[in-house]
Structure 1
Amino acid sequence: MGKANLSKILFVMMLMLFLVLAACSGGGSEGADDSGSEEAEGGDAGSESEEADGKVYDVADFSPIKEGEPMDGGNLNFGLVSPTVFSGTLNFNFYSDAVDSEILDWFDESLLDVDETFNMNQEGAATWEVNEEGDEFTFTIRDEVNWHDGEPVTAEDWAFAIEVIADPDYDGPRYGNVTDIVGVEEYHDGEADSIEGLEIMDEKTLKMTFKQATPSLLSGGIWSYALPKHIFEDIPVADMSSSDAVRVNPIGMGPFKVESITPGESVTYSKNEDYWQGEPNLDSVTVKVIAPETVTQALETGEVDLVNSFPTDQYPDVEESLTNVEFLGRVDRSYSYVGFKLGSWDEENGKVDMDLENSKVGDVELRRAMWYAVDNDAVGERFYNGLRWNATTLIPSFYEVYHDDSIETPTYDPDTANQILDEAGYEDVNGDGFRENPDGEELVLNYASQEGGDTAEPLANYYIQSWEQIGIKVEKIDGRLLEVNDFYDRIGEQGNDDPDIDIYSAAWSVGTDVNPTNLWGPNVIFNFTRWEDEENTRLQEEGVSSEAIDLEYRQEVYSEWQEYMVDQVPAFPTVYRAELAPVNERVVNWDIRQEDQELERYEVGVTQEEPAVAE
């Protein structure tokens, strides 16, 4: 067992011992009056003097790109790190999880490209013009852009993709991505036979008219994926996501073509010689699922050349032993968070139905206290050796222009947490060490978290124990961690919220547009907290208003929104993340940045037939 793993286990054991002692001395409520000892114990648990292996890393020390001169041809083996099989919803119109997205990225792509400021440029598969008012865009798809079966990608394909998403029988999660187009809602509600804001000018030219000019239109707010109408037009919309065209024989317009799929396990691709940017360097790519527990071995032996993500908690153990790879790194677009279930999904009306009165976590003071109870600085150092760090707001530091680090947010302070709960009326009525709610009723919160990797279980236990430290009884739903697909189904990915879940831990990967509506908007299914109010809606609407085209104005709006969410606590961020990507020595021209890449997938190559293996 590596030093880092051993130290993590000792850390969790130390926390458990401390929390047991705290519970035996009267639980969290009594500790509120003791502002010294309890704070000191918690501080020691997260201090640098007890670091996991004596070293904390900094993402700034890693390069995001590996360049070189490739040989002609060759095969690349790509490891899809996942604790479970992939869902296999292989179309951008219908997919919902990041694992399927990784498979899609090899064979399909957006028609639009963005620069380092996250705004659209003219380098994509389609160029564009916009009117003076900023609400009407005319897109022209390049002549050389074709589907893998040789058919041209047309303006009709692009319009068809939007029509499918807006159809009332559509069962995917992207409806919120197209509602800004004039006439989409009327089409969705059956009040119109076509979408007014879509006009096909010619085979390659599509005009889109939006309800208003907004900065989001320039930074990823336009649905930019086409759907091959000649394949899908005879499939009922309700059946599309489960059809062979999505799950068995998907096609795209990207640099590689799908040759075969082993459901849930692997995908093989061949190069698309007709790719619009040029013939790919590689002859083929194989993508296969790799369990988080075996990713290191797969890299050591050369079974895979690179992976979609590397568990950062494993890096200290392999820094010296993985001699056949180079680690790339950057600030990730993802953040982890704890969400509180505050309602359900109104499927009939396609919106959040918040119900604070019937939620066990409907009291904002309870939610605030639970944020104060966790030490995310310690989590970042102990479980991830500094490659994750304390998060503050729901607009992550990835957005340097919009993230407001001046906002004061709850940080680890169990004394403050206890004081908040005392003042809110949460008391240990029966003397069992756990608080009842203000009505004197038993309070037990069911917690959902995903399985996967060495840290999943101890991290979930740490949060549970941290809440127990302040007298809040929390139990894993069903007494265990949930398989990833089961987890997302039960927290509401399909709209079927499990009413027994009160709290959950999840992660969110942001897009090129800072607009947070896709996770926190009133009519998006990914708003798993089911929390919404007038102020949240107002601020999100202002963030995409025509006034927000002015950068300073938009910064002010999103600063206010960040502060408002800190105050309301429908969820709280736990850690921001570094992304680490180990790349075999033979791989060149791999760029892990998802915006303003210097090198793209058709340029990736290898320098020799066989992968390098660890010495």
Structure 2
Amino acid sequence: MFLRKNKILAGMLSMLLSILLLNGCGSTSAEIPTNSSADNQSSSGESVLRYAVESSPKGLFSPLLSNTTYDNNVNSLVYSPLILLDENNDFKSGLADKYEFSGDNLTVTFNLRKDVKWHDGEDFTADDVAFTFTSMADPKYTGSRFNEISKIVGAQDYHDGKADSISGIKVIDKYTISFTYSKVYAPALSNFSQRGIIPKHIWSKVNVADWDKQSDLLNKPVGTGPYKLIDFKPDQYVELAKNDSYFGGAPKIDKFIFKVANTETELSELAKGDLDIVELSSTKEEDLKMLKDAGIKIEEKPSANYQFMTMNGNRDFFKDKRVRQAITYAINRKGIVDSLLGEHGQVINAPISLAGWAYPKSGLNTYDYNADKAKELLKEAGWIENNGVLEKDGKKFEVDLMVPTGNKVREQSAPIIQQNLKDVGIIVNISTMDVASAMAKTKGQGDYDMGLLGFTLEVDPGDADRYWSSSIANNSQFNFSNFINAKSDEFIEKAATTIDRNERKEVYAKWGQLLNDEAPYVFLYSQNAIRAHNPKLQGYKYSAYSVFPDIQNWTISK
């Protein structure tokens, strides 16, 4: 039984931004053991499940180093965290079978399972947990996870080279470990649910600065998860075999294969039985009908992703809130959703995921499409129409809109936005580029006017300070609009240091209303997460934050 004290944080979502970097689809056909379309078995009689991925993993098969969805998915099967998430995003037992908070809510103590083995047969202990989280603060660590544990007592000093250890991490005995925070930190448990534990007996032998260069270790990872990685062919596939010693029970499917699939053919492959699960990017009714006619099961849920248009607050065009609000009114967001997503997405009005508990249910301006209202606000802000183009102080309202390639719906929305803004007198020049180039332009003060981007939100919105707090505005990679607002900082701080979820929800409602009014972004839409799967696959579940919940209980029949 997984015990919880003080009703801490069950199943939250977050503002941690993992940028929605949609990679190009792969087209290399994979020479891998193929399912018979009749029985989903390999030639040896083993059951096999194939999961389509648009791009190949990089091969960073370490939960402390991976930075793409594709590597993360592999790692989630190979490694286990202290806490797991179920299909409802609620916490359940992982490597820890119990946790308890101290009376002041500053210290969380984990009691670990005593029956866990690493894939190589070594015992899993609290030393592995301490090693994992201490490594994330090592001055030589090259990954991006430090912020997850930065609020633990002593973590910053260790990270800065001022201490030899992290005083807030204490190994109490072989199967007990505690973490003490400098102040109450509500997202703590969510962070522990996101990070798999790595084996000390392997990685302590390598200098932390060289971890990302250890291709032999990375390509043959040792974890405690339900599957073991047995083969990786870049641009083709990742093959995993079941871990018979998995603490959650031996998986019922013998092999799991991530297959790099061409998005142009993956639906027909699924219909034929050559793939078993596909994350649908197409919402074309003819595609969905084809799958349904083939007997394919389709599930649809709100996702943790949303698309937005950022406006660089350092540009004079966008310093007046009335201009930002006018631009939001001027864009027919509902029209974009209806024409490009149909019933498979919805307009959003605050930077909080629709997939969880914190999105405000009321109090938001919906900014319904209204060109007249937009013109009125622009006139109030001093912009005067001259031959169909707005001018102010002799300067035309002409801006560039950068559009990263790779997300078809986003690309298709750009000319709609261009025309909508032209209708109110704003000239928009579309500039397409790859994602990396677009991200480079947002750094520092920002070398851009407007841009279409996306966020993938993680489990708890308490980490919003990474992206919105004015205290880090000049250093944050993700505060694209250079938004600085003391009241926003206040809400973020209060929500992150409040334990009770109902109280936090009230704070996030106020924060959402503030961002909705200030409009540093035009919040566009959130596309639903749609999964299509082989009807022979039973027990299949997923959520916005748990891609493979209870995978050990999935079955695939003949």
TM-score for both structures, normalised by structure 2: 0.83
Cα drift, residue 168 of structure 1: 3.0
CA offset at residue 169 of structure 1? 3.1
Distance 1:438 1:132, change over 3 A: farther
Change (3 A) 1:290 1:93: same
The Cα of 1:383 is off from its aligned counterpart by 1.0
C-alpha separation between the residues in 2 aligned to 1:318 and 1:374?
29
1 CA distance for matches of 2:95 and 2:547? Answer: 12
Is 1:549 the counterpart of 2:485 in the alignment? no
CA gap of 1:321–1:118, structure 2 versus 1, over 3 A, is: closer
* 3-state SS in 1 of match to 2:301: strand
Q: Which moved more, 1:230-239 or 1:285-294?
A: 230-239
**Partner-residue secondary structure (3-state), 2:365:** coil
- 1:110 and 2:81 aligned: yes
C-alpha distance in 2 between matches for 1:489 and 1:88: 22
The equivalences for 1:488-527 within 5 A come to 489-490=439-440, 499-515=446-462, 516-521=464-469, 523=472, 525-527=477-479
Question: Residue 3 of structure 2 corresponds to which residue in structure 1?
Answer: none
Distance 1:222 1:318 in 2: 34
- TM alignment of 1:63-462, pairs within 5 A: 73-80=46-53, 82=54, 84-114=55-85, 120-122=91-93, 125-220=96-191, 224-244=195-215, 247-307=218-278, 309-322=279-292, 323-342=294-313, 356=314, 361-400=318-357, 402-427=359-384, 431=387, 433-436=388-391, 438=393, 440=395, 443-453=398-408, 455-462=409-416
> How far does the alpha carbon of each residue in 1:290-347 deviate from its partner, in whole angstroms, 9 at most, with x for none?
233333222122221112x2124234433245413111222222222222344xxxxx
* Offset, 1:411: 2.4
Is residue 305–residue 526 contact of structure 2 (8 Å, CA) maintained in 1? yes
**Alpha-carbon displacement from aligned partner over 1:125-163 (angstroms, at most 9, x marks no partner):** 442122111111111221222322222333222222222
| Preserved CA contact (<8 Å) 2:446 2:480 | no
Match of 2:552, SS state, is helix
Q: Cα distance, 1:256 vs. partner?
A: 1.0
Unmatched 5+ residue regions in structure 2? Answer: 1-39
Structure 2 CA distance, aligned partners of 1:380 and 1:475?
A: 22
Q: Which residue of 2 aligns with 1:578?
A: 528
- CA distance in 1: counterparts of 2:512 and 2:429, whole angstroms: 30
Deviations 1:489-511 (A, max 9, x none): 4356xxx5694333222332323
User: Cα–Cα, structure 1 residues 423 and 397, in superposed 2: closer, same or farther, change >3 Å?
Assistant: same
| CA shift in 2, pair 1:280/1:118, >3 Å | closer
- Letter paired with 1:425: G
| Residue range with higher mean Cα deviation, 156-165 or 517-526 | 517-526
268-277 vs 442-451, greater mean Cα deviation: 442-451
**How many angstroms apart in 2 are the aligned matches of 1:212 and 1:283?**
45
Determine what percentage of the aligned residue pairs are the same residue.
23
* Aligned equivalent of 1:473, options 416, 427, 431: 427
Name 2:19's counterpart in structure 1. none
Deviations 1:338-395 (A, max 9, x none): 22344xxxxxxxxxxxxx3x57544433322221122221222211111101112112
Aligned partner of residue 111 in structure 2, secondary structure: strand
- When normalised by structure 1's length, the TM-score is 0.75
Decide which moves more: 516-525 or 395-404. 516-525
Cα displacement (A) at 1:470? 2.1
Cα distance change on mapping 1:105 and 1:383 into 2, 3 Å: same
CA distance in 2, matches of 1:359, 1:232: 50
Instruction: Compute the displacement of 1:124 (Å).
Output: 5.2
Q: How many residues end up aligned between the 2 structures?
A: 511
**Counterpart residue number, 1:607:** 557
Equivalent of 1:534 in 486, 491, 495 = 486
- Determine the structure 2 residue equivalent to 1:52: none
Q: Given residue 79 of structure 1, which amino acid in structure 2 is its aligned partner?
A: A
- Match of 1:251, SS state, is coil
Superposition CA RMSD, Å: 3.0
Q: CA deviation at 1:487?
A: 5.3
Unaligned runs of 5+ in 1: 1-69, 343-355, 609-615
CA distance in 1 between counterparts of 2:321 and 2:59 reads 39
Q: How much has 1:428 moved relative to structure 2?
A: 5.1
1:533-583 deviation digits (Å, cap 9, x = unpaired):
3222211110012xx223342222111100111122222321133221111
User: 2: distance between equivalents of 1:162 and 1:245?
Assistant: 23
Shift of 1:216: 2.5
The offset of 1:236, in angstroms, is: 3.1
8 Å CA contact 2:542–2:549 kept in 1: the answer is no
Alpha-carbon separation, structure 2, partners of 1:491 and 1:304: 38
Q: Secondary structure at the match of 1:292?
A: coil
Distance 1:491 1:386, change over 3 A: farther
How far apart, CA to CA, are the structure 1 residues paired with 2:157 and 2:91?
Answer: 28
CA distance in 2, matches of 1:266, 1:452: 22
